[in-house]
Amino acid sequence: MLTISQLAAYAGVTVRAVRHYHQIGLLPEPERDASGYRRYSPAAVVSLIRIRILANAGVPLSQIGQMLEADASTFAAAIEEIDRQLVDEIARLEASRKQIAQLAAGDRLALAPEVIAYLDRLRDIGVSERVVAGERDSWILMSARWPDRVREWMPSKIAQLDDPQLIRLYRILSEIFESDTGDDARLVEAADILASLAEQAYSSGEIDLGAVAQDDLPFDLLDALAVEADPRVQRLLDLMRERGWDGLARLERLAEPPT
Amino acid sequence: MLTISQLAAYAGVTVRAVRHYHQIGLLPEPERDASGYRRYSPAAVVSLIRIRILANAGVPLSQIGQMLEADASTFAAAIEEIDRQLVDEIARLEASRKQIAQLAAGDRLALAPEVIAYLDRLRDIGVSERVVAGERDSWILMSARWPDRVREWMPSKIAQLDDPQLIRLYRILSEIFESDTGDDARLVEAADILASLAEQAYSSGEIDLGAVAQDDLPFDLLDALAVEADPRVQRLLDLMRERGWDGLARLERLAEPPT
DNA sequence: GCTTGACCTTGACGCTGCGTCAACCCTCCA
DNA sequence: TGGAGGGTTGACGCAGCGTCAAGGTCAAGC
């Protein structure tokens, strides 16, 4: 007859594990000796090892009991199911590794390389860090909402940065938000350029980001984010409304031009 | 300003998860409105998404806070560590899949194919199912204790089954344990053969399972297992002692032959 | 006979990342 | 004004044990 620690040692598990198996009814409680100690027969070692074989194979403890009693076909089906779950879990971890590799590859926010390129391009044309940070946050939101489509959109966004009007717009915005003064004339100028660009896009039938913009991620959120970062953005929004446009991240023509 | 459900929806997580992040201090609690509701700024969406990016990459929540504040090299080191853990975990699951494949391959106890072959061989030479089951349980214990070495030992074990004396021994044992009578003459015969085989092995310098037998897995356990399966094994053990041998699973010559 | 150390007992909390009630309050809309 | 659909805190549950806590027991040496 064996004590619990001997049993555990033979089977290569901890005493605590054995007691746990008793608790959940996986391994039957043996008789106790006079002092209340559990006393095990050698056969218990075999039972315990069989349990561990299944547990090591990834079978949840809650299923092991049934599996040890099951007939061959039931057993095989259960095994297949467990294997499917293992495959899924492995796939999930592999996906995590890819994510982590992206993070390690310099970019701490897992933005697509195209977005990184876009932000770098902004810096190249003289856009201030503050404005770039605002753009970055916006693209973080966009990437979270449309992780796949963002990469498709970037080439045209990058191409647009060749437009001298757009470059001028970004530079003005940089100057405004780099300074602490409320330079309203600059804001008006920015609004004019923005309205002009919107007009061009509208007449050429170009609809910035496609139909996705309709309902799903309110572009209002992006605007609100910008306003929060710098309240002067609110003034810019107002100026745009005066010019017949609603929003900023996504411009929409107002139904009725305000009086 | 956003409610908690809007925040959660934008970031693609559950409300419960957001509250959990508050609880563990990962996401700062926002101001409450007059009725005690949490009200979030748009920037909170970005914070939350950043948290999720790391979490999805397999970073434990407890580390995400520090990682978001860490400098580049600390961050990189942490990433590397996480990746190592992911690799380990994947390896563990792959190992489980191998185990499971073995189980699916017909053998429900994960015995090495060599052991299965040995047991089949026993059946072929006419050994009864009961005795084979006893052998199987013994090899389950052996495999648990020496998972790698068992496979090396089997070829010689299988070769030994060509010995007519051994075949005869196994057949006698089968007859004994298949019948319900206490046929002592048969037991004596078995003991004689066993002693003779032990003598041969001893004189040829063959030490059954090598030095492993010394201390680690008491072969007494195997003997006790057999006695438990059928008490008549005890008589066999006694007979062997009379013949100067101790044990059964592993025979050892007694220092002093009993009087 | 006494101490000491190793081993046994039950009971309970901790870990991870939330899911899922429960019981109650707030807001908005028909 | 009533009901649906938000929000709030608090608590338990999940898997598989690890790890105290607070004792009782056993074998050995003095």
DSSP bridge partners of A252? A246
CA dist., res. B93 & res. A188, Å (int) = 61
In this prediction, residue B67 carries a pLDDT of 92
Contact A93 B89 (CB under 8 A): yes
- At residue A217, the pLDDT reads 67
The whole-angstrom distance between A68's CA and the closest CA on chain B is: 9
What local confidence, expressed as pLDDT, does residue B122 receive?
95
| Residue B219, pLDDT score | 84
- Which residues of chain B neighbour A11 with C-beta distances below 8 Å? 144
Judged by a CB distance cut-off of 8 A, whether residue A78 touches chain B is: no
pLDDT at site A215: 55
Rounded to two decimals, the pTM is 0.87
CA of B37 to C1' of D7 (A): 6
pLDDT tens per residue, range B84-129? 999 999 999 999 999 888 888 766 677 888 999 999 999 999 999 9
Q: What is the pLDDT of residue A254?
A: 76
The Cα–Cα gap between A227 and B99 comes to 58
Q: Is the dihedral of CA A20, A21, A22, A25 positive or negative?
A: positive
pLDDT for B3? 95
Closest nucleotide to A15 by C1' from CA? D17
Residue B134 pLDDT exceeds 90:
yes
Residues of chain A with pLDDT below 50 are: 259
Which of B109, B145, B229 is closest, CB to CB, to A50?
Answer: B109
Please tell me the distance from the alpha carbon of residue B91 to that of residue B94, in angstroms, as a whole number.
Answer: 5
Cα separation, A135 vs A150, whole angstroms: 14
Nucleotide with the nearest C1' to A62 CA: D15
Buried b (16+ CB within 10 A) or exposed e, A111-128: bbebbbebbebbeeeebb
A219: three-class secondary structure by DSSP: helix
Q: Which pLDDT does position B47 carry in this prediction?
A: 95
Q: What is the pLDDT of residue B107?
A: 66
The proportion of chain B whose per-residue pLDDT surpasses 70, expressed as a percent, equals 92
Under DSSP, the state recorded for A2 is B
Q: Is the pLDDT of residue B2 over 80?
A: yes
**Mind listing the pLDDT tens digit for each residue in B40-75?**
999 999 999 999 999 999 999 999 999 999 888 899
As a whole number of angstroms, the distance between CA B115 and CA B149 comes to 12
* pLDDT top residue among A222 and B217: A222
> A100–B83: do the CB atoms touch at under 8 Å?
yes
pLDDT band at B240 (very low <50, low <70, confident <90, very high): very high
The burial of B96, by beta-carbon neighbours within 10 Å (0-12 exposed, 13-18 middle, 19 or more buried), is given as buried
Mutation site for A-interface testing, chosen from B68, B103, B137 by largest number of A Cβ within 10 Å: B103
Q: With CA atoms as reference, report the closest residue to A130 among A172, A174, A161.
A: A174
- Tell whether the model's pLDDT for residue B208 goes beyond 60: no
* pLDDT recorded at residue B253: 80
Q: ∠B47-B53-B54 over CA atoms, to 5°?
A: 100
CA-to-C1' span, A145 to C27 (A): 28
Nucleotide nearest to A37 (CA to C1'): C8
pLDDT, mean over chain B = 89
d(CA A247, CA A194): 11
